[in-house]
Amino acid sequence: MREIRADRTYSDDAEVTDYLNTLGYRLVAASADSRQEFTFFLILDPQVNAFALPGGFVGVNSGLILTAQSESELAGVLSHEVAHVTQRHMARMLAQQKQAQVISLAALAVAILAARSNSQISQAAIAGSQASFIQSSLNYTRDHEREADRVGFQVLERAGFDVQAMAAFFERMQRSTRYYETNAPAYLRTHPVTYERIADMQNRAQNLPYRQVADSLDFQLMRAKIKATQDSPQEALAFFEESLGERKYVSEAATRYGLVSALLRVKSYARAGKELQTLRTAVPGNAAVDALTARYYRATGDTAAALQTYRDGLKNHPGYRALVYDYAELLLATRQAGEALKLVESRLQYSASDYRLYELQAKAYAALDKRLPQHRALAEAYYRVGNVKGAIEQLLLAQKSGDGDFYQQSSVDARLRELRTLEKETQRETKK
Ligand SMILES: [Zn+2]
């Protein structure tokens, strides 16, 4: 994950990420091996692609989310990737290779990233590593593809999605690539879709009763969010204005949400406010709309209304990360570090592995001039993104800070011992 986070295309957008994990975990829960942990994450890349890394990390390109014409289509591609993981295809492939013992997970992650197109870090990272060897042997076999299709199909069905969507999606991709042979979408290059695969999917779907599945509002909202942020402000505005004006949409609310996002980008606040009112009446109590509303108030300088919107939104959706982060940031910006700290620490009780909460906690302590807990919090943030060395440095700074009581100081000492042991073990592993 450290390699991925360093990539220019990685996005930590809390709303889209949470949506992808909700959708992904709905599929995982429907799979036979639901004990495996998964992390779904967004890659800002217009190419239609999704890919699985060892350890259950599944990357989803923004291009895939925008190209999917229904939530079932997106779920179809994800269930195929989930199946690669639960069927241990990568592990089986590595086991067949003699070099398997010396391949580190990091090298493997680099190789897979390099296999995607447009990857910045990977081409450089790959040169000096064993990754170039791995990359050459990373393509799934036809048997793996067939199995991922079969298992993915079952997962899709059990999770309650439209099973026709998988074949429909692949067929559309196939058709679109006929015209650009040399520039096939990345997904097709790593997952060659053959007529045989499409026919298999259609046959499986034929034996099941037709079921109409409505897309979730969140699916439509997150598509609109990606569209509104990835295009230029003027293009985004033109797109949503036209869609709304000519009623060319699946979801009017999502289209209006996209329009408001675009209006905020071109600083057309008066109109944004009007459209927002219509949107809030149409879908009251939606967390993503609350977050957008607060953003509008912040942009227009109405801090009091923004703070109130966060408080109201969090009452209904206490775990909605975008609201938590944005509210904490605004509290910090308005010199209410004590309140920010209370909010962050209450959330840490539920999500103790969230590095962004620790970052906010560190900022709040810094504002309150409490240096030991500030460095301690930053250490926890670094530790959670896999940066043990950085975490140890922060703990050393905490020791030297000269504040904190005896209890806090001993707790820093104990944590430092723990991480140093961990660091030694890691070094020994690497040397092996
Ligand atoms: Zn595949």
pLDDT of residue 369: 96
Q: How far is the CA of 61 from the centre of ligand 1 (A)?
A: 15
Q: How far is the CA of 74 from the centre of ligand 1 (A)?
A: 14
Q: What is the mean pLDDT of the chain?
A: 87
Q: How far is the CA of 76 from the centre of ligand 1 (A)?
A: 11
Q: How far is the CA of 21 from the centre of ligand 1 (A)?
A: 19
Q: How far is the CA of 268 from the centre of ligand 1 (A)?
A: 44
Give tens-digit pLDDT for 159-212.
999 998 888 888 877 776 554 444 445 555 556 566 778 888 888 888 887 778
DSSP reduced 3-state for 37: coil
pLDDT of residue 107: 66
Region 401-410: mean pLDDT is 93
Give tens-digit pLDDT for 1-53.
777 777 788 999 999 999 999 999 999 999 987 788 899 999 998 888 888 88
Neighbours of ion ligand 1 (CB under 5 A): 145, 148, 191
pLDDT of residue 105: 63
Closest CA to 391 of 427, 350, 365, 358: 358
Region 49-66: mean pLDDT is 88
Q: How far is the CA of 195 from the centre of ligand 1 (A)?
A: 15
Beta carbons of 340 and 374 less than 8 angstroms apart: no
What gap in Å lies between CA 91 and CA 94, rounded to an integer? 5
364 vs 194: which has the higher pLDDT = 364
Q: What single string gives the DSSP state of each residue in 57-95?
A: EEEEEHHHHHH-SSHHHHHHHHHHHHHHHHTTHHHHHHH
Q: How far is the CA of 84 from the centre of ligand 1 (A)?
A: 7
Q: How far is the CA of 401 from the centre of ligand 1 (A)?
A: 51
Q: How far is the CA of 202 from the centre of ligand 1 (A)?
A: 17
Q: What is the DSSP letter of 123?
A: H
Beta carbons of 45 and 116 less than 8 angstroms apart: yes
Q: What is the DSSP letter of 404?
A: S
Q: How far is the CA of 194 from the centre of ligand 1 (A)?
A: 12
DSSP reduced 3-state for 22: helix
Looking at the DSSP assignment, which residues form a beta bridge with residue 58? 40, 52
pLDDT of residue 181: 45
What gap in Å lies between CA 54 and CA 112, rounded to an integer? 10
pLDDT of residue 166: 86
Beta carbons of 360 and 391 less than 8 angstroms apart: no
> Considering all CA atoms of the chain, what is the largest pairwise distance in Å, rounded to the nearest integer?
71
Q: What single string gives the DSSP state of each residue in 150-167?
A: HHHHHHHHHTT--THHHH
Looking at the DSSP assignment, which residues form a beta bridge with residue 59? 41, 51
Closest CA to 20 of 45, 53, 42: 42
